[in-house]
Amino acid sequence: MPCSKEELEERERQILAPYAQFSADSRGRVYAETPPAWRTDFQRDRDRVIHSRAFRRLEYKTQVFLNGSGDHLRTRLTHTIEVAAMSRGLARALCLNEDLAETIALAHDLGHSPVGHRGEAVLNRLMREHGGFEHNRQSLRIVEELEEKYPGFRGLNLTWEVREGLLKHQTSFDQPGLRKAFPNKSPSLEAQIANLADELIYGSHDLDDGLGEGLLSEEELTREVRVFAEAVEAVRREHGELPQEVRRNAIIRSIIDSQVRDVVRTSTAALRAAGVQSADDVRRQARPLIRYSPARRKSNVDLRRYLFRHLYSNPVVSEPNERAGRMLADLFHYFVKHPEEIGESSRQRARQTGWPRAICDYLSGMTDRYTMREHQRLFPKEERASD
């Protein structure tokens, strides 16, 4: 016999910690739907995210290096998959809801603009007088409004808990438009896991990509970054001398493993000290309970600063992203003058949101390559990237 939704929910009750977010206790969806027969509500949400158009577009959006720069470099999609895997592993270790943590992680970058954080900064500047642009809020906008797949509602109609998790980077939902819908001080532990997994993954894997492209030096990292030097020594003690690629991968794995151990130990202690007994107890906490130790947090900040100086600011990375960002600005100005060209669904949306927001939605949904193709189509060579 098939395993029913009710049986899956009962398994959660038996296995998960009392402060986990149980799917049976979900606050539900904006639009009522017939419950799934053989999936929990969070499992249904996960499937809806994976089958969305916004998720597929992540394959052609920049993580650090402009999309298409190299076959082995991470894209926004591969980063998302890695964050989802890490979120599921951390949730399992802490007896939390793996399905919810994975779903939030899979959806966390749906709202990212093309050209990575440079594109986000460009759109935020252009939208300064119209509410700005921020990719977490845009992720929520995509799942609530912009996806068009179902006959009874706009968006994906995800559960409250997943939508809560998509705002994980916000300062406890202090923005007026969000405070009523998400009034709590903190999100669920599963949302906190997705947030921390994102940070853990992009730090270590940006480091990996930078080394692989020859933009970072193992020798210099060993001298200047403590967390890297500790990993080098751990790999040398366990394996001796290794070929370059094997050694580099072993170092990255060692960094990730040490971070995971630190998070599990520190979070377990924080949960015990807080004495939380339910998911709503967690939401009343003033600060996250899923966290690094102070020493590890300091080491991660040092690594992040090093990456900003030596990778993100490297001309090989920054100059293509800057050029593509100027293309995005050119397109924004063009569509402000020619709004009839942004497509029928965007024109309909403009009647509710105004033209600037509709144009921003349209541009933020573009992939890197589509941004460049549209720019090439709309601008003569001498007018390109003029912002």
The phi and psi torsions of 150 (rounded to 5 degrees) equal: -120, 145
Ranges of residues in the chain whose predicted pLDDT is under 50:
169-174, 384-387
pLDDT per position as a tens digit, 196-208: 999 999 889 999 9
pLDDT at 146: 94
C-alpha 220 chain-centroid distance: 29
CA distance 20 to 150: 30
The pLDDT value recorded for residue 217 is: 94
Give the structural domain span for 292: 5-383
DSSP class of residue 217 equals -
Give the pLDDT score at 345. 85
| Separation CA 162–CA 49 (nearest Å) | 10
CA–CA distance, 192 with 87 (Å, rounded to integer) = 9
What's the CA gap between 195 and 222, in Å, rounded? Answer: 28
Range list of β-strands (E), 87-222: none
Give me the pLDDT at residue 41, please. 97
Distance, in Å, from the CA atom of 221 to the CA atom of 132, rounded to the nearest integer, reads 37
Tokens of 183: 């009034």
Token pair, residue 353, equals: 């949101």
Number of helices followed by number of strands (H, E) in the chain: 19, 0
Output the domain CATH number for residue 77.
Answer: 1.10.3210.10
Q: Are 104 and 197 in contact (CB under 8 A)?
A: no
Give how far the C-alpha of residue 368 lies from the chain's centroid of Cα atoms, to the nearest Å.
17
The domain tally of the chain equals 1
What pLDDT digit, counting tens, does each position of 304-332 carry? Answer: 999 999 999 999 999 999 999 999 999 99
C-alpha triplet 335, 337, 340: angle, nearest 5°: 60
Q: How far is CA 254 from CA 161, 233, 251, 299, in A?
A: 33, 10, 5, 14
| Cα gap 285→219, rounded to integer Å | 42
Which whole-number Å values give the CA distances from 375 to 104, 122, 315, 318, 331, in the listed order?
33, 15, 22, 19, 7
CB 311 within 8 A of CB 355: no
Give CA–CA dist 75/61, Å, rounded: 6
